[in-house]
Structure 1
Amino acid sequence: MAKFLLSAFADEAGSTLDEQIAALKDNQIDYIEPRNIDKKGILTLTDEELYEVKRKLDANGIKVNSLGSPIGKYNIEDEFEPHLELTKRAIRVCEILGTKNMRMFSFFTEQSDLKKNRDEVIRRLKVMTEEAVAHGITLCHENESRIYGQMPEEVRDVLTEVEGLGGIFDAANYRMNDADVDAGIEATLINFKYMHIKDAIFESQTIVPAGEGEGKIGEIIDIVNEKVDGEVYLTLEPHLHVFDAYKDIDDHELKGKYSFKSNREAFDFATNALKSLLMKHGYKRNGNNEWIK
């Protein structure tokens, strides 16, 4: 049985660290997957800036469940050595922020070139994973669009072939590519680490709150609960659209969509949707941020 812990890409609530901390605390979320802080990519921060981020998070009782890095989100045809150096920097960032996990990807490639690029993808992932493991860090592969590991078959491939590589399950990313989420979670369970929470509808290419799309998020959480023991992070990544001209949108344009006056409002809405979905599936909060059945 799993114990689900809520985390979030809090840069979707606000750009500054103070705004992100406030959003997490107001929503009773004790973990963060930092991606952008004060309008800077997490890997561009200096050591001094990172130590200050850690100090503020610690002072507010917020821990880093995983680093929201862009590692592996580069074209497979780009030179590898500079990217390996960036991976080493990301490992150092993990160490400063006190996390053992790093979100990453398996390189952009044309889907028609998967077979051609497969061996080089695996080679690079092995080198990067070995470097991370040597420092006590687990690289966690996300099934992102347009990368090698976009679909369940390729996710199965990388998790099988690359020893020590973990898997992140993202239902919305699968559905945006018309992939079977059941096959996706089956592949990810080869070395499952945690989940990203956003939902989607394929035909309209729309991101929606958890439980309102085709991602079967509640059912997937139940599968994870049966298959995985211990702590499992559910990282909110709302991606809900914020309309700049909110007041000017008519009813027809809003049909079937959500609109929000601010990033913070969208973030709160997504958080409440996940909590409602958990309760619908029989989970209860045990303590401040632990959901169990």
Structure 2
Amino acid sequence: MIYLSAFADEISADPTEQLDNLLIHSIRFVEFRSIHDTNVLDLTAEQHEEFREMLRERGMALSAIGSPIGKIKADEPFEPHLERLDVALGLCDFYECPRIRIFSFYIPEGGAPEDHREEVLRRMAAMAEVAEKRGVTLLLENEKGIYGDTADRVKEILDAVDSPALGHAFDPANYLEVGQPVDKAWTMLRDRVVHFHVKDYDTKTKKNVPAGEGEGQIPKLITDAVAKGFEGYCVLEPHLLVAEASTGFTGPERFGDAAVALQTALSREGVTYA
């Protein structure tokens, strides 16, 4: 079974509007990145209490903590970032959700990925070791400007770290943005994919589009994954109006378009989802 989730802050900064709009589209899981225009790792204890209660009242839960862990330069101090990871791990306990979305560090301007390979791998291994001890899975997302922007380097990280606490959150649009053929990326990594980010991309217009309208092959990939036994979350991250390095925005109306597009495509393929 696959479960639909979403970065609900793509709908609104207001948590009530976020959750109520998800329920309109029968989506009961949230990839928790922000509310009140504040990152999930920077919210107060009181705000977390309030949000958890809102989830419980609606029968909803989290698919992952949508953290920005790994979104610093590979040559910036690492120890303070481990403290941020510890905050995220605490939230996993608080929300009873043992998954954190992470990244693999920005390449400093003017640098080359190979110049930072050893340090990136050291950091990734250190984070996976901490997460494994806490019973949490880190979901490594590919992204432009990050060490793991291509399938080759994502695989390199996964192979080098070799930990059950580190899996891949596959984002087709992010691969397309760096010129990575989705077929190649999928063939290389499908056995390592534990999480999907549903974001499609049109390389001609260089814009994000609803699932199935770009070159991300999202219905095909999810169908293939399910046929091979995948069970997990497919997380809407449409970025239809704004697509920036640290966030994206879609708005309630366009989010509805994105949700319907994904659900229609999955139904057409005969994929069961909840």
What interval of TM-score do these two structures reach, taking the shorter chain for normalisation? over 0.9
Q: CA deviation at 1:95?
A: 1.3
Q: CA deviation at 1:135?
A: 0.9
Is 1:200–1:206's contact at 8 Å kept on the other side of the alignment? yes
- State yes or no: 1:274 paired with 2:262: yes
Q: How many residues align?
A: 264
> Could you say what secondary structure the match of 1:233 adopts?
strand
> Could you say what secondary structure the match of 1:150 adopts?
coil
Q: Distance in 1 between matches of 2:237 and 2:180?
A: 19
Other-structure match for 2:237: 237
Is 1:177–1:202's contact at 8 Å kept on the other side of the alignment? no
> Could you say what secondary structure the match of 1:33 adopts?
strand
Matched to 1:121, the amino acid is: V
Gapped regions of structure 1 (runs ≥ 5)? 243-261
> Could you say what secondary structure the match of 1:203 adopts?
coil
Matched to 2:46, the amino acid is: E
Q: For the aligned residues, what is the CA RMSD?
A: 1.5
> Could you say what secondary structure the match of 1:124 adopts?
helix
Other-structure match for 1:60: 58
Is 1:159–1:188's contact at 8 Å kept on the other side of the alignment? no
Q: Distance in 1 between matches of 2:135 and 2:44?
A: 21
Q: After superposition, what is the alpha-carbon deviation per residue over 1:154-178, rounded to whole angstroms, capped at 9, x for unaligned?
A: 0111111112311100011011111
Matched to 2:195, the amino acid is: Y
Matched to 1:56, the amino acid is: M
Is 1:169–1:184's contact at 8 Å kept on the other side of the alignment? no
Q: CA deviation at 1:53?
A: 1.2
Q: CA deviation at 1:24?
A: 1.0
Kindly tell me: are residues 30 and 200 of structure 1, through their superposed partners in 2, closer, same or farther at Cα, counting changes over 3 Å?
A: same
Is 2:223–2:271's contact at 8 Å kept on the other side of the alignment? no
Is 1:51–1:97's contact at 8 Å kept on the other side of the alignment? no
Structure (1 or 2) with the larger CA radius of gyration:
1
Q: CA deviation at 1:120?
A: 0.5
Q: Distance in 1 between matches of 2:189 and 2:28?
A: 25
Matched to 2:59, the amino acid is: G
- State yes or no: 1:18 paired with 2:16: yes
Structure 1 segments of 4 or more deviating over 4 A?
none
Is 1:176–1:201's contact at 8 Å kept on the other side of the alignment? no
Percent identity among equivalent residues?
37
- The residue correspondences of 1:173-192 to structure 2 (distance < 5 A) are 173-192=174-193
Other-structure match for 1:96: 94
> Could you say what secondary structure the match of 2:69 adopts?
coil
Kindly tell me: are residues 204 and 63 of structure 1, through their superposed partners in 2, closer, same or farther at Cα, counting changes over 3 Å?
A: same
- State yes or no: 1:172 paired with 2:170: no
Q: After superposition, what is the alpha-carbon deviation per residue over 1:61-83, rounded to whole angstroms, capped at 9, x for unaligned?
A: 11101110000011111111111
Q: CA deviation at 1:129?
A: 1.0
Other-structure match for 1:248: none
Q: Distance in 2 between matches of 1:152 and 1:172?
A: 13
Kindly tell me: are residues 40 and 97 of structure 1, through their superposed partners in 2, closer, same or farther at Cα, counting changes over 3 Å?
A: same
The TM-score normalised by the length of structure 2 is: 0.92
Other-structure match for 2:25: 27
Gapped regions of structure 2 (runs ≥ 5)? 243-249
Q: CA deviation at 1:46?
A: 2.1
Q: CA deviation at 1:190?
A: 4.0
